[in-house]
Amino acid sequence: MEPKFDAGKIESRIYARWETQGHFKAGANAKPDAETFCILIPPPNVTGALHMGHAFNNTIQDILIRWHRMQGDDVLWQPGMDHAGIATQMVVERRLEEQGEPDRRELGREEFLRRVWTWKNQSGGEIIRQLKQLGTSCDWSRSRFTMDKGFHDAVLKVFVELYNQGFIYRGKRLVNWDPHFETAISDLEVEQVEVEGTMWHFRYQLADGARYEHPLAEEAGGQPVGTETRGYLVVATTRPETLLGDTGVAVHPEDPRYQHLIGQSVILPLTRRRIPIVADTHADPTKGTGAVKITPAHDFNDWSVGERCGLPAINIMTGRATLALRNNAEFLEGCDVLPEALNLDGLDRYEARKRIVELAGEGGWLDAAVDDSHTVPHGDRSKVAIEPFLTDQWFVDTRAIVGPALDSVRSGRTRILPEQYEQTYFQWLENIEPWCISRQLWWGHQIPVWYDEDGRQYCATGEAEARALAGNRILVRDQDVLDTWFSSGLWPIGTLGWPDSTPEMERYFPTDVLVTGFDIIFFWVARMMMMQLAIVGEIPFHTVYVHALVRDEHGKKMSKSIGNVVDPLELTERYGADALRFTLTSMAAMGRDLRLAENRVAGSRNFVTKIWNAARFLKINDCQKETMPDPADVTHPINRWIIAHTARTAHATNDSFATYRFNDAANGLYDFFWNRFCDWYIEFSKSLTAEKDSDLAGETRATLLWTLKQSMLLLHPVMPFITEEIWQELQLGTKDLIIADWPDLDPAEYCDPATEAEIDWLVALIGAIRSTRSQLRVPAGSTIGLTALRIDDRGRRILVEHSEQIGRLGRISGWSESRNRPAEAATLMVGDCEFCLELAGVINLDDERARLAGDIAALGRECTEMEARLANPRFVTRAPAEVVEKVREQLRGKQVEIDAKSGALANLKG
């Protein structure tokens, strides 16, 4: 074996071996009549590059998959990729631009889509190669893409079914419009951004020369200081550019300033349009001037006001958020537009804003401009401000299909872990809004609806079918594509072959666990639930494991613009995939963010090295030539001790995986392997194998090998590469480790409490010797004698049986039993047994006196505290008997120790 574990070299070799041997295939290693276990990968975007979130997400999935595969379950980890509508179209458009090629519009839809496919086939899916570097054991032979023919067919079929059931409809609605991509987006794709802006106050003339008394500032008592006669109403807005589309002004019905104006009209500046003053509670008397202009076509709140008050909606913008005035019949009707207003035609919305404020200033109707910070919706991809825009779009009537998705989680048929996320899920689904699913893009699933000349809709899975429905009419297909999340919402059934009744659907659906970050509970989890239940009447998965978001070491979200992104592949190159995986696993406590500090990865790499060296030690000692023992036949207490610990660790690891406590599993294995197996057992084994040909040496070598084998099995789901390499190197099994049998070690069978207690006592004795030596600065290389002053039969037996271990690990030359304390000695205790180390000529008696006095003082404090508790009658009567007894026992032990150490101290003083 090489002295160092060369992760880079070995990982790629091992991965290739697994793949060529077909170990990732669905059902590999399945026992006859096996249970199935299926995970669907959250499909990464075809444009994606592996980030830490992917690394974490896929490590957890891989652990579950490998663990179940080793248990002999029929395992399927279904991989694939998402076509990622906007993201991909963006990438390809940018490339066209960079290469000086004609843009999308010049190419035309068909040619552009051809270019996207070419890009996808040449450069898409880099992330799959990156996932493989992590060691993910997906069944790559089944990889699916959301634009594959079969998947596409499934998407269209679902659309048609939901359409026919009335759950999908088309309507003219105000939607979130992204002026950069010129498409509608859903509520979820909108981010609220806090912006420092201005609130402008404009004077709208009252119609028919009306006037009113406007109260000036109020006194504390609420009485106006005075009034002012006004022929205008002041409205406040942060969006002057929408002014030309105003169709009303709203005031609060109970606002005494304006109440009497309700029902009158104002004249909209620049257009001389006569618009009514309406009463609506949306107008907040405490904000702005209390009078708010209403632009139903360009604001969600105003849209509702318009509906309530019967105001028309006038669209004054194009899809690129420029003003559309000159040829806009809707706008021009019913008003008398000033020429300077018409000149705004074609201006960008922010230019128009500037000009309108200028015109207001020039025209004398700008009343005030007040600094104001407010939130502005932005597109999550484009990062430009969203424009509420009145267009025809397709919607899913989510309220009609949300019920079963709520019920399934409420009833526990689908579990969400940790439970707190159930609340998040309920909260969103209980208040769900219609889902806008049409996108004005080209890359995606084109909506399967055709229109005839009269605008009648024919929804069908193909043109021929649509024609059959339409008779002889001329049909035109809807140009829009579906939201990417509509197709990802069908990932469960779509990847398993629906609508055909495939063996995969039969076997693996509903799937078992969905592993995902909380940020896509709404985008994806909730929609999969709704859609699977609506289409096949079944939940898509039994358990949703929601994991934390990976942040940088100071808790910031990793982002390219902040520049705090830690590249998982870079860490993998420097420390190895196993080290990264182990780190992420050991930090995967449920329900919290995960801050990744690089030194944790370095620590895990050290663990990898430790494992490698332990295996080398076994190899150097020819352990692999031993036949595996039946643990029941092992006789030496030290060997029985490590077997017991191994069984307990196996049990705990299995429990931890079963309850998704991945960090407990990782940390438990770390502690067992390093602190138990390496630090104690391997050290003990060195004495036991001293006589190479003895039965004891053989048994010990076999136990070493057995323990290493169990360790490799248990660690494999978390650290697949190094464990497989050692497995092969030491020939630990006939099959590859990835498909070896998961340990099933019943603690009742393998554990032996009496023997374990004995070895624990031995460990405590050696620990006490080492500690005393160190505190008294006994030279590390010197060997010294041990005297037992007070000892029981068991202690005596252990001393006899393991004298070599004590000698070797405690640097003890020999031991004797005596009632007389040597003159120059240090005292130590293990339980009730008292020992001293003979240190004539070495010990500084003052050091020992100080040490004993310190110990006695500390013990005294503990005793005082325990005595006080026992003296409290309420404690003695109300606390559980075993707790009281435990304290009594502890107190007794401490008192024995104080007595012994006080005796030793007195002896030294004398």
- Residue numbers 654-673 binding RNA by CB under 7 A: 663-664, 667, 670
The contact mask relative to RNA for 515-544 (x = CB under 7 A, - = no) is ----x--x----------------------
Nearer residue to RNA within complex by CB, 54 or 605 = 605
Angle between helix 598-620 and 720-729 (nearest 10): 10
In degrees, rounded to 5, the angle at the alpha carbon of residue 423 between the alpha carbons of residues 422 and 427 is 120
**Residue 879, interface with RNA (CB under 7 A)?**
yes
Q: Does 635 bind RNA (CB under 7 A)?
A: no
Segment interacting with RNA, rule: CB under 7 A, options 63-71, 417-425, 535-543, 564-572: 417-425
* Token pair belonging to 876: 């003695």
Q: Does position 600 bind RNA by CB under 7 A?
A: yes
Tell me if 613 contacts RNA by CB under 7 A.
yes
Distances, alpha carbon 635 to alpha carbons 461, 699, 703, 722, 763, in Å: 72, 8, 11, 31, 19
12 binding RNA? (CB under 7 A) = no
Using CB under 7 A as the binding rule, whether residue 761 contacts RNA is answered as: no
Which of 113, 39, 116, 127 has the alpha carbon at shortest distance from 81?
A: 127
Of positions 398, 687, 707, 787, contacts RNA by CB under 7 A: 687
User: β-strand 74-78 against 594-595: which pairing, if any?
Assistant: unpaired
Q: Would you give the binding string for RNA spanning residues 451-480, x where CB under 7 A is met?
A: ------------------------------
The DSSP annotation for 61-119 comes to HHHHHHHHHHTT-EEEEE-EEB--HHHHHHHHHHHHHHTT---HHHH-HHHHHHHHHHH
Sign (positive/negative) of CA torsion 795, 800, 806, 811?
A: positive
> How many CB atoms are closer than 10 A to CB 289?
21
Q: Are 723 and 608 in contact (CB under 8 A)?
A: no
600/648 with CB nearer RNA: 600
Of 97 and 691, the one with the shorter C-beta distance to RNA is 691
Candidate segments 59-67, 199-207, 547-555, 812-820, binder of RNA by CB under 7 A: 547-555
Binding mask 771-800 for RNA (x = CB under 7 A): x--xx-x-xxx-------------------
Query: 620 or 754, CB closer to RNA?
Result: 620
CA atoms within 13 A on the CB side of 356: 30
Residue whose CB is less far from RNA, 368 or 589? 589
CB-nearer residue toward RNA: 205 or 689? 689
Instruction: Note whether 767 binds RNA by CB under 7 A.
Output: yes
CA torsion through residues 608, 611, 617, 623, sign: negative
Q: Which is nearer to RNA, 536 or 842 (CB)?
A: 842
Both tokens of 32, joined, read: 């006859």
217, 220, 329, 620: which one binds RNA (CB under 7 A): 620
Query: Which stretch in 465-473, 474-482, 678-686, 841-849 sits in contact with RNA by CB under 7 A?
Result: 678-686
Question: Which amino acid type is present at position 273?
Answer: R
- Asked if residue 881 binds RNA (CB under 7 A), the reply is no
Locus of tokens 């490799």 = 712
Contacts of 763 (CB under 8 A, 6+ apart): 680
Contacts 24+ apart (CB under 8 A), 424-429: 424/518, 424/521, 425/521, 425/525, 425/526, 428/521, 428/522, 428/526, 429/402, 429/405, 429/526
CB of 50 to RNA, least distance (A): 21
Candidate segments 248-256, 622-630, 836-844, 872-880, binder of RNA by CB under 7 A = 872-880
Is residue 96 at the binding interface for RNA, with CB under 7 A as the rule? no
Q: Confirm or reject binding of residue 605 to RNA (CB under 7 A).
A: yes
How many of the chain's residues bind RNA (CB under 7 A)? 74
Which one-letter DSSP state was computed for residue 796? H
Q: Which of 488, 498, 492 is nearest to 146 (CA)?
A: 488
Q: Where are the alpha helices (DSSP H) in 596-694?
A: 598-620, 637-658, 662-670, 683-688
Binding segment for RNA (CB under 7 A), chosen from 381-389, 595-603, 729-737, 792-800, is 595-603
- Residue from 35, 102, 872, 885 touching RNA (CB under 7 A): that is 872
Distance CA 651, CA 673 (A): 15
Among 214, 610, 636, 796, binds RNA (CB under 7 A): 610
Among 103, 570, 865, 899, binds RNA (CB under 7 A): 865
Judged by beta carbon, residue 39 or residue 836, the one nearer RNA is 836
Q: Which of residues 228-287 bind RNA (CB under 7 A)?
A: none
Q: At 784, list the tokens.
A: 């010294």
Identified binder of RNA from the candidate list 164, 281, 373, 427, rule CB under 7 A = 427
Does residue number 770 form part of the binding site for RNA (CB under 7 A)? yes
Question: Which one, 145 or 721, has the nearer CB to RNA?
Answer: 721
By the rule CB under 7 A, 206 interacts with RNA: no
**Which span (599-607, 725-733, 749-757, 898-906) binds RNA, by CB under 7 A?**
599-607
Is 707 an interacting residue with respect to RNA (CB under 7 A)?
no
User: Residue 591, interface with RNA (CB under 7 A)?
Assistant: yes
> Under the criterion CB under 7 A, does residue 746 sit at the interface with RNA?
no
- Length of the chain as a residue count: 910
Q: Does 760 bind RNA (CB under 7 A)?
A: no
Q: Which of residues 153-192 bind RNA (CB under 7 A)?
A: 187-188, 191-192
Q: Does 683 bind RNA (CB under 7 A)?
A: yes
Residue 51 touching RNA (CB under 7 A): no
Whether residue 788 contacts residue 816, with contact meaning beta carbons closer than 8 Å, is answered with: yes
Could you tell me the two tokens for 210?
A: 């009306």
Q: What's CA 799's distance to the chain center, in Å?
A: 52
Q: Which residues pair with 173 in a beta bridge?
A: 391
Which sign, positive or negative, has the C-alpha torsion 110, 115, 120, 124? negative
Q: Are 47 and 84 in contact (CB under 8 A)?
A: yes
Scanning 92-100, 246-254, 605-613, 638-646 for contacts with RNA by CB under 7 A, the matching segment is 605-613
Q: How far is the CB of 74 from RNA (least distance, A)?
A: 32
How far apart are CB 597 and RNA at their closest, in Å? 5
Q: Is 17 in the site for RNA (CB under 7 A)?
A: no
Give the integer Cα–Cα distance in Å for 481 and 589: 40
- The answer to whether residues 215 and 257 touch, using CB atoms and an 8 Å cutoff, is yes
Query: Nearest CA to 88 among 112, 60, 116?
Result: 116
